[in-house]
Each structure stands twice: as C-alpha cells, then as structure tokens.
Amino acid sequence: GAGVSQSPSNKVTEKGKDVELRCDPISGHTALYWYRQRLGQGLEFLIYFQGNSAPDKSGLPSDRFSAERTGESVSTLTIQRTQQEDSAVYLCASSRGRKIETQYFGPGTRLLVL
Amino acid sequence: KQEVTQIPAALSVPEGENLVLNCSFTDSAIYNLQWFRQDPGKGLTSLLLIQSSQREQTSGRLNASLDKSSGRSTLYIAASQPGDSATYLCAVRPRGNNRLAFGKGNQVVVIP
C-alpha cells in the first residue's frame, strides 16, 4: 500500500476486556513505532521495532500492554484487561530506519473503554 | 528528559494573514525536528523535517526554521487559507533515543 494502515479505525470495548490493534507499515520500512494520544495530551511513545533487533519497550505504561512484530511486516499492539484510562487514539508510524528519516503515520485506532 | 512546548495552544486568524507557530525544546542534542499537521479524526501528516545541521526548510507556503542552540523552531505559513485549519505538532528526535518527543500542538483556525 501507499501508506501506513491501521485497523480497526474505531474500537469500543468494556472495561476488563482485551483488545488487539493492528498496524501495516509502508513496505520496505524497517522501523515501526507505536504512540498513544490521549484527549488533550501530546503523543506518548509506547514501543519501537527496528528490523530483527530487540524492541525498545521503554514507553509501555504497564505490563497490560504488549506488542509484537514479525520481521519487517505487520505489528499488533495488545492491551489486556482494559481500563478507562486506556481510552485514546493509538497511532502507528514507520520509517526507513535511519535516525534522520521521516516517520510516516497511520490514521490511528480510536479506542474507547466503557 | 526532553520537553517540547508549543505556544500558543490555540489561535484564530483571518484568511490571508501569515501564521507564526512556535516550538521550544529543552535539550539541544537532537537528530532532527519535524512539523506535522493533524486534522480532526485523522492521523499525522509530515510537513517539514529539519536535520540538526540545517537552519530551515521550505515547502510551498510553509517555512520552518531551527535554532538548535536556543532550542527553538518556528513554522511560518504564508497567506493562510481556511484549508490550513488544523492542529500543528512539533516533534524532536533526541540523540541516543528511538522516540519522537512531541509538543501538545498549536490548534489553528483560519477564518474565511
């Protein structure tokens, strides 16, 4: 595809349920990032994947959050036992992997936890 | 920890006026600085990226400057149009770090 795609675009779930969010990066991009944007807040870094290296998980807010990526393709972000404070827009970005490169963002998944 | 601040948080201007958006960051050790645009309910669109060795970048009506030593960047939008209404986000890529550090954005409304 031409850009980063994410699914679902919107997700409403009940507190305590698990959710899985998906990101398809731009083909050939080795770096993939997840960010979270809560209402009225700036974007918060969650996790970074670069090729086959160990991911940088330092931004994950709790052990309820996890993410996987197979090679240089699709990534999934999983939130277990969702809480109301998890409600946010979850944005995925990819880049060609060099630190000077532009990050290209997907449209985001809007998560609402009731 | 890198802190990014954007002032003003929100502004309205009449169509045709030039827009000036300010971004400041606390640590000058950066690889680059990037300006994004975000429309309601949409993702981020990259507007301009300035490498740490550069002083400015231009694209059409947009010009972004970078003064790394003072920790400041300014985004100029010439002859604003209603279609420029959006939130503009500034982000820096700190050295030794994989993440972008974002400001909270400048919410702009251009009045026809």
Q: How far apart are CA A78 and CA A23, in angstroms?
A: 11
Between B40 and A105, the higher pLDDT residue: A105
Q: What is the DSSP letter of B2?
A: -
Q: Which two tokens stand for residue B42?
A: 């949409």
Residues of A in contact with B4 (CB under 8 A): 42
Helices (H) and strands (E) in chain B, counts: 0, 11
pLDDT at A1: 52
The chain-wide mean pLDDT, for chain B, equals 93
Phi, psi at A48, each rounded to 5°: -135, 135
For A28, left (φ over 0), alpha (ψ -120 to 50), or beta?
A: left
Q: Is B56 strand, coil or helix?
A: strand
Mutate to test the interface with A, among B7, B37, B44 (most CBs of A within 10 A): B44
User: For residue B93, which of B59, B60, B51, B62 has the smallest C-alpha distance?
Assistant: B51
**pLDDT band (50, 70, 90) for residue A87:** very high
- The length of chain B in residues reads 112
Q: How far apart are CA B101 and CA B74, in angstroms?
A: 16
Residue the block writes with tokens 């026809």: B112
Peptide bond before A8: cis, by omega within 30 degrees of 0?
yes
Say yes or no for a CB contact (<8 Å) between B46 and A107. no
- The residues with which B14 forms a beta bridge, in sequence order, are B111
Say yes or no for a CB contact (<8 Å) between B4 and A59. no
Instruction: Report pLDDT digits (tens) over A50-67.
Output: 988 889 999 999 999 999
Say yes or no for a CB contact (<8 Å) between B100 and A45. yes
Nearest chain B residue to A10 by CA distance is B41
Query: Is any Cβ of chain B less than 8 angstroms from the Cβ of A105?
Result: yes
Instruction: Report pLDDT digits (tens) over B45-99.
Output: 999 999 999 999 999 999 999 999 999 999 999 999 999 999 999 999 998 877 8
Instruction: Report pLDDT digits (tens) over A13-22.
Output: 999 999 999 9
Q: Is the pLDDT of residue A26 over 80?
A: yes
CB atoms within 10 A of CB B79: 11
DSSP strands (E only) in chain B: 4-7, 10-14, 19-25, 30-38, 44-51, 56-59, 62-67, 72-77, 86-94, 101-102, 106-111
Tell me the nearest-neighbour CA distance from A27 into chain B, angstroms.
18
